[in-house]
């Protein structure tokens, strides 16, 4: 049976529980353990697919087509193994299951209650991955902050699991903030003591404290925290602010977080830790030899989390080229045909982001026209690819008012149209074309040159597609479909071979880029941007 590590958060949100969980998992993986991470989110949406990116950041899609929390992206990028539907559970999903069972008559004669019915369902899901035999250790991140009303059923379930399983089979890491008071020139431990107290009133004593801090903690402070929070001295782990999330595993290693955890779980901790590849990555990340500036054109640019995986993919691909990628966010609503030159002329490449709805669409199209005509490397993802198709139709094929039927249902040239199977769908939640689908690449395309494979598989999240009625016209005029789904003929990739780097993809490559496997198309964009920059000088 697997061992279970739980990660809770105290004091404030946004302390980086996901990054800590992923870093700890990385260290355990580096010692040869099979580890997975799951996240429990206390909101009532069944999944984050129906949330606006401003609310909750990007929606991360797994291979099996689950719309999940963006922390799952960190888990995959750190561990280099895929997650699935089972790795992300929300309160909405838990209640939906229990209510469906109630309707089926599974609890006939009984009053259905939070305890035991909701907590039993949470427990079943918390323990599930550990029972598959695929993992030695399951790390469970509990979303929200201890003390939140919504988080209570999760903490109660965790208390029960601790009580039911053997003492050395579970462990709780509590992540807190040690604020620095400028006026007093002091780090303060009191909020941490209070949040541990809060956790203890619900019957859970943390084994390990992970303390987020902007200043190094003294030995005295560590002792004080250990004493008042009831943990061992070596169980107070400092998590100092660092320049990159990819440095966190190395910091956690310095703090011996992995050894402390393994000792407590009574697992062998003398297996050597192999982080060679990770260290090489961080070394390159810290010492770039080149620099490029890429414009990220989108409508959610105020919030970095909205395009989390894209930002991380740039870091992976940049590091591969020993190149620092400066990502310049550009609001698509602020671009028009008059100012596009001043917004884009200084860039070495442009990525047009995914998205939904009409807002900012014309700015994306103006940006694409500019980069196409000026030979600036371009990469369009999902809606970004669809905009490239619309732009080409309007400005090269002369199809005035060509559009996607998502934005303009009555357009005379519906070059992007709703997929046939989507037309009868009424419910919005979980009904897009989601998850991994196959794609075959055309010989001699840019794509095949980068993937070095004719058959690929990528993840999706969309309802609209390239309208194949127009394909011949596009190809004759120089925009080729170089990747297609082998079963349906759906256009997955478009390219303009006469341009140095012009690629649009219907899928989301950013969801598959990891530290150990930077995505070939992002790597291609950075390579092209470096060449373009050199050609300007
Ligand atoms: N809105 C477009 C569609 O549904 C693009 C979606 C996306 O960019 N993820 O097809």
DSSP for residue 355: -
Residue 537 in this model has a pLDDT that exceeds 80: no
Predicted confidence at residue 409, as pLDDT, reads 95
138 vs 127: CA distance, rounded Å: 8
Task: Using the atom order of ligand 1, give the atom closest to the CA of residue 381.
Answer: 8
CA 74 to chain centroid, in Å, comes to 6
Ligand 1 centre distance from Cα of residue 223 (Å)? 53
Q: Atom 8 of ligand 1 has which residue's CA nearest to it?
A: 354
Choosing from 296, 353, 356, 359 the residue with most ligand 1 atoms within 8 A of its CB, the one to mutate for a pocket test is 356
Token pair for residue 475?
Answer: 């190809």
Task: Using the atom order of ligand 1, give the atom closest to the CA of residue 465.
Answer: 10
Q: What is the mean pLDDT of the chain?
A: 95
Predicted confidence at residue 12, as pLDDT, reads 86
Predicted confidence at residue 245, as pLDDT, reads 97
Q: Atom 6 of ligand 1 has which residue's CA nearest to it?
A: 462
Ligand 1 centre distance from Cα of residue 384 (Å)? 9
CB 176 within 8 A of CB 209: yes
Q: pLDDT digit string (tens) for 249-298?
A: 999 999 999 999 999 999 999 889 999 999 999 999 999 999 999 999 99
Q: Atom 1 of ligand 1 has which residue's CA nearest to it?
A: 356
Q: Look at residue 178 and give its three-state secondary structure.
A: coil
* Section 16-43 average pLDDT: 96
Predicted confidence at residue 420, as pLDDT, reads 85
Choosing from 299, 309, 354 the residue with most ligand 1 atoms within 8 A of its CB, the one to mutate for a pocket test is 354
Percentage of residues in the chain having pLDDT higher than 90 = 91
Angle of CA points 504, 508, 511, to nearest 5°: 145
* pLDDT band of 13, cuts 50, 70, 90: confident
Q: Which residue has the higher pLDDT, 486 or 431?
A: 486
- Of 27, 47, 46, the residue nearest 35 (C-alpha): 27
Ligand 1 centre distance from Cα of residue 386 (Å)? 8
Ligand 1 centre distance from Cα of residue 368 (Å)? 17
Residue 441 in this model has a pLDDT that exceeds 80: yes
| Phi, then psi, of 432 in degrees rounded to 5 | -75, 175
Rounded to a whole number, what is the distance in angstroms from the first to the last CA of the chain?
A: 61
Q: Look at residue 29 and give its three-state secondary structure.
A: helix
- Of 512, 28, 514, the residue nearest 275 (C-alpha): 28
Q: Any residues with CB less than 8 A from the CB of 55 and at least 6 apart, and which?
A: none
Q: Find tokens 């996607």 and name the residue.
A: 404
Choosing from 386, 414, 433 the residue with most ligand 1 atoms within 8 A of its CB, the one to mutate for a pocket test is 386
Instruction: Verify cis geometry, omega within 30 degrees of 0, for the bond prior to 245.
Output: no
Predicted confidence at residue 297, as pLDDT, reads 97
- Of 13, 6, 37, the residue nearest 157 (C-alpha): 6
Give the pairing of strands 170-177 and 208-213: parallel
Residue ranges of alpha helices (H) inside 345-464 are 361-373, 383-395, 446-451
Angle of CA points 161, 162, 164, to nearest 5°: 60
469 vs 483: CA distance, rounded Å: 16
Q: pLDDT digit string (tens) for 96-140?
A: 999 999 999 999 999 999 999 999 999 999 999 999 999 999 999
Predicted confidence at residue 85, as pLDDT, reads 94
Residue 45 in this model has a pLDDT that exceeds 90: yes
CB 220 within 8 A of CB 272: no
Task: Using the atom order of ligand 1, give the atom closest to the CA of residue 384.
Answer: 8
CA dist 305 to 55, 57, 204, 502, Å? 10, 5, 31, 26
Q: Atom 5 of ligand 1 has which residue's CA nearest to it?
A: 383
Ligand 1 centre distance from Cα of residue 484 (Å)? 17
User: What b/e readout covers 215-251, taking b as 16+ CB neighbours within 10 angstroms?
Assistant: eebeeebbebbbeebebeeebbbbbbeeeebbbbbbb
CA dist 32 to 26, 275, 444, 490, Å? 10, 11, 41, 41
Ligand 1 centre distance from Cα of residue 432 (Å)? 9
Q: Report the pocket of ligand 1 as residue ranges, CB < 6 Å.
A: 354-356, 382-383, 406, 461-464
Choosing from 298, 355, 505 the residue with most ligand 1 atoms within 8 A of its CB, the one to mutate for a pocket test is 355
Q: Look at residue 494 and give its three-state secondary structure.
A: strand
| Phi, then psi, of 387 in degrees rounded to 5 | -65, -35
Token pair for residue 317?
Answer: 């691909």
* Section 71-94 average pLDDT: 96
Task: Using the atom order of ligand 1, give the atom closest to the CA of residue 353.
Answer: 8
Task: Using the atom order of ligand 1, give the atom closest to the CA of residue 464.
Answer: 10
Token pair for residue 217?
Answer: 């903690």
Residue 374 in this model has a pLDDT that exceeds 80: yes
Which pTM does this prediction carry? 0.95
- 363-366 contacts at long range (C-beta below 8 A, 24 or more positions apart): 363/297, 363/331, 363/332, 363/333, 363/334, 363/335, 363/336, 364/297, 364/332, 364/335, 365/390, 365/391, 365/394, 366/335, 366/336, 366/337, 366/340
Task: Using the atom order of ligand 1, give the atom closest to the CA of residue 354.
Answer: 8
| Phi, then psi, of 369 in degrees rounded to 5 | -60, -45
User: Looking at the annotation, which residues are catalytic?
Assistant: 382, 508, 510
Ligand 1 centre distance from Cα of residue 353 (Å)? 10
Residue 55 in this model has a pLDDT that exceeds 90: no
Residue 426 in this model has a pLDDT that exceeds 90: no
Ligand 1 centre distance from Cα of residue 461 (Å)? 7
For the CA atoms of the chain, what is the radius of gyration? 25
Q: Look at residue 32 and give its three-state secondary structure.
A: coil
* Section 147-171 average pLDDT: 95
* pLDDT band of 425, cuts 50, 70, 90: confident
Task: Using the atom order of ligand 1, give the atom closest to the CA of residue 406.
Answer: 1
Predicted confidence at residue 213, as pLDDT, reads 95
* Section 131-151 average pLDDT: 94
Token pair for residue 271?
Answer: 């297996």
């Amino acid at each position: 049976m697997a061992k279970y590590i739980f990660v809770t958060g105290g004091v404030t949100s946004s302390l980086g529980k996901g990054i800590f969980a992923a870093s700890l998992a990385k260290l355990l993986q580096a010692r040869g353990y099979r580890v997975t991470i799951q996240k429990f989110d206390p909101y009532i949406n069944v999944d984050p697919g129906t949330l606006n990116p401003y609310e909750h950041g990007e929606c991360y899609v797994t291979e099996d087509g689950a719309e999940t929390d963006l922390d799952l992206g960190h888990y995959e990028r750190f561990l280099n193994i895929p997650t699935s539907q089972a790795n992300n559970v929300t309160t909405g999903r838990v209640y939906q299951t229990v209510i469906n069972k109630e309707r089926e008559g599974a609890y006939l004669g009984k009053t259905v209650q939070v305890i035991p019915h909701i907590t039993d369902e949470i427990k079943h899901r918390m323990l599930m991955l550990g029972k598959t035999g695929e993992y030695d250790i399951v790390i469970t991140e509990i979303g929200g902050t201890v003390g939140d009303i919504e988080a209570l059923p999760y903490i109660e379930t965790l208390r029960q699991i601790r009580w039911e399983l053997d003492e050395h089979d579970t462990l709780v890491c509590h992540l807190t903030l040690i604020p620095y008071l400028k006026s007093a020139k002091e780090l303060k431990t009191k909020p941490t003591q209070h949040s541990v107290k809060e956790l203890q009133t619900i019957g859970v004593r943390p084994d390990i404290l992970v303390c987020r801090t902007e200043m190094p903690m003294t030995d005295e402070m560590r002792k004080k925290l250990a004493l008042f929070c009831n943990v061992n001295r070596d169980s107070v782990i400092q998590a100092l602010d660092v320049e990159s999330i990819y440095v966190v595993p190395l910091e956690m290693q310095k703090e011996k977080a992995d050894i402390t955890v393994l000792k407590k779980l009574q697992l062998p901790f003398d297996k050597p830790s192999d982080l060679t590849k990770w260290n090489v990555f961080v070394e390159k990340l810290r010492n770039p030899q080149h620099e490029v500036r890429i414009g990220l054109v989108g409508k959610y640019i105020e919030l970095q989390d909205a395009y989390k995986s894209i930002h991380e993919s740039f870091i992976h691909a940049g590091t591969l080229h020993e190149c620092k990628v400066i990502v310049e966010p550009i609001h698509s609503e602020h671009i028009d045909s008059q100012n596009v030159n001043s917004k884009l002329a200084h860039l070495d490449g442009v990525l047009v982001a995914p998205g939904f709805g009409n807002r900012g669409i014309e700015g994306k199209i103006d940006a694409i026209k500019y980069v196409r005509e000026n030979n600036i490397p371009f990469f369009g993802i999902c809606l970004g690819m669809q905009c490239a198709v619309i732009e080409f139709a309007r400005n090269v094929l002369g199809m005035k008012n060509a559009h996607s039927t998502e934005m303009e249902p009555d357009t005379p040239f519906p070059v992007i149209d709703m997929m046939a199977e989507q037309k009868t769908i009424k419910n919005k939640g979980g009904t897009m074309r989601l998850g991994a689908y196959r794609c075959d690449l055309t010989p001699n395309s840019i794509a095949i040159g980068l993937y070095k494979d004719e058959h690929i598989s990528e993840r999706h999240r969309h309802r609209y597609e390239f309208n194949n009625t127009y394909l011949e016209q596009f190809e004759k005029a120089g925009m080729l479909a170089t990747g297609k789904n082998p079963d349906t003929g759906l256009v997955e990739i478009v390219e303009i071979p006469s341009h140095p780097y012009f690629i649009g993809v219907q899928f989301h490559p950013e969801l598959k880029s990891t530290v150990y496997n930077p995505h070939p198309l992002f790597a291609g964009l950075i390579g092209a941007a470096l060449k373009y920059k050199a050609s300007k000088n």
